[in-house]
C-alpha cells in the first residue's frame, strides 16, 4: 500500500495506481469536496482496470479523512455555547438572589 495525497496533482496518480492494481492510502483529505474528487478518481481507476479484464476484487484501499479541523471547529462552537450558557445561568441566579 502506498500513500497518495488527495491534492489536484494526486488525483491522476490515484486513478493510475488503482488501474494498475496498487492498493493505496489516500492522505491529506480535509474537505468533502476533495473526498468527492477522490471518490471519482477511485471509481474511474477501478472501472479502467475492470475494462481491461483485470481483477478488482483484491483492491483494498483507504481514504484517511482528517477530522481534526472539524473537531476544532465543533470544539470552538461548543466552548462558545458553554460560555453563553454559563453567562445566562449566572444572570438567572443573580436575578433569583436579588429578589
Residues that are catalytic: 3
Whole-angstrom distance between the N-terminal and C-terminal Cα of the chain?
69
Strand partners, 27: 5
For the chain, how many residues are written? 99
DSSP characters over 39-81: HHHHHHHHHHHHHTT---TT---EEEE--HHHHHHHHHHHHHH
Residue 87 to residue 72: CA distance in whole angstroms:
22
Amino acid at each position: 500500500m502506498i500513500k497518495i495525497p488527495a491534492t489536484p496533482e494526486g488525483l491522476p496518480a490515484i486513478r493510475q495506481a488503482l488501474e494498475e492494481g496498487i492498493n493505496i492510502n489516500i492522505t491529506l483529505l480535509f474537505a468533502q469536496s476533495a473526498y468527492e474528487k477522490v471518490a471519482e478518481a477511485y471509481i474511474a481507476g477501478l472501472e479502467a482496470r475492470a475494462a481491461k479484464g483485470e481483477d478488482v476484487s483484491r483492491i483494498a484501499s483507504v481514504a484517511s479523512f482528517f477530522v481534526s479541523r472539524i473537531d476544532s471547529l465543533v470544539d470552538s462552537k461548543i466552548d462558545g455555547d458553554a460560555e453563553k450558557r454559563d453567562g445566562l445561568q449566572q444572570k438567572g441566579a443573580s436575578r433569583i438572589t436579588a429578589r
